[in-house]
A and B are shown apart, each in its own frame.
Chain A
């Protein structure tokens, strides 16, 4: 069974440019998460989806970040415009449901470098 798929794996852009990341969760997983991981730190939650609904986006910087999961399956995270401080790894994860006992499975991440 395929795991969580993310693309691209690496992205280099200049500041002020837009960028988008794509995630396809494990089949049947209703809950999807986007995390941000800065160098030397643990991942931090940006947004959580239950099917197509964003149920926790309190940590998403809404002035420049946006996300969607239109059909409740794959998801896109966008940054517009990107800033130097956005250089990080963006991880997507999924789980069967949002209940606390459900294990989260992580994708390989997208490493963003903003020049």
Chain B
């Protein structure tokens, strides 16, 4: 059974800092890994999707890496802003389903 773990569960940083969110998974037989953002009371917004054959994806200030063999992914956020405050979820796709972690709740303070 695939298990996805995200560390830390919560993080508070001052504006402007670079930060890294971590995601680990137990079964490396994945199709892809996705990072989502979720604002309070809202649905999921897809940030980056990394196919199993890829090592990283970038979008603006976000960079996600994937090391499938070790079961790890990181989401790097550069020059954090208060608007980045949200919960970040990673999810891994196997043949049968998308399995989510419990998320990292990020707060960027002024």
Q: Which of A44, A103, A105, A109 contacts B100 (CB 8 A)?
A: A44
B4 is an interface residue with CB less than 8 A from chain A: yes
A72 is an interface residue with CB less than 8 A from chain B: no
Q: How far apart sit A109 and B96, CA to CA, in the bound complex (Å)? A: 22
Q: Which of B51, B97, B103 contacts A45 (CB 8 A)?
A: B97
Q: How far apart sit A33 and B31, CA to CA, in the bound complex (Å)? A: 18
B89 is an interface residue with CB less than 8 A from chain A: yes
- Binary interface encoding of chain A residues 99-114 relative to chain B, with 1 for a CB under 8 A from any of its CBs, else 0: 1110111111101000
B102 is an interface residue with CB less than 8 A from chain A: yes
Nearest-neighbor residue (CB-CB) of B100 within chain A: A42
- Binary interface encoding of chain B residues 6-42 relative to chain A, with 1 for a CB under 8 A from any of its CBs, else 0: 0000000000000000000000001110101000011
- B90 shortest CB reach to chain A, Å: 9
Q: Which of A33, A99, A101, A106 contacts B43 (CB 8 A)?
A: A106
Q: Which of B30, B43, B49, B102 contacts A103 (CB 8 A)?
A: B49
Residues in A neighbouring B99, C-beta threshold 8 A? 42
- B89 shortest CB reach to chain A, Å: 6
Say yes or no: A104 contacts B98, CB within 8 Å: yes
Say yes or no: A100 contacts B103, CB within 8 Å: no
Say yes or no: B42 contacts A103, CB within 8 Å: no
B64 is an interface residue with CB less than 8 A from chain A: no
A91 is an interface residue with CB less than 8 A from chain B: yes
Q: How far apart sit A33 and B41, CA to CA, in the bound complex (Å)? A: 19
Say yes or no: A108 contacts B43, CB within 8 Å: yes
A8 is an interface residue with CB less than 8 A from chain B: no
Q: How far apart sit A104 and B31, CA to CA, in the bound complex (Å)? A: 13
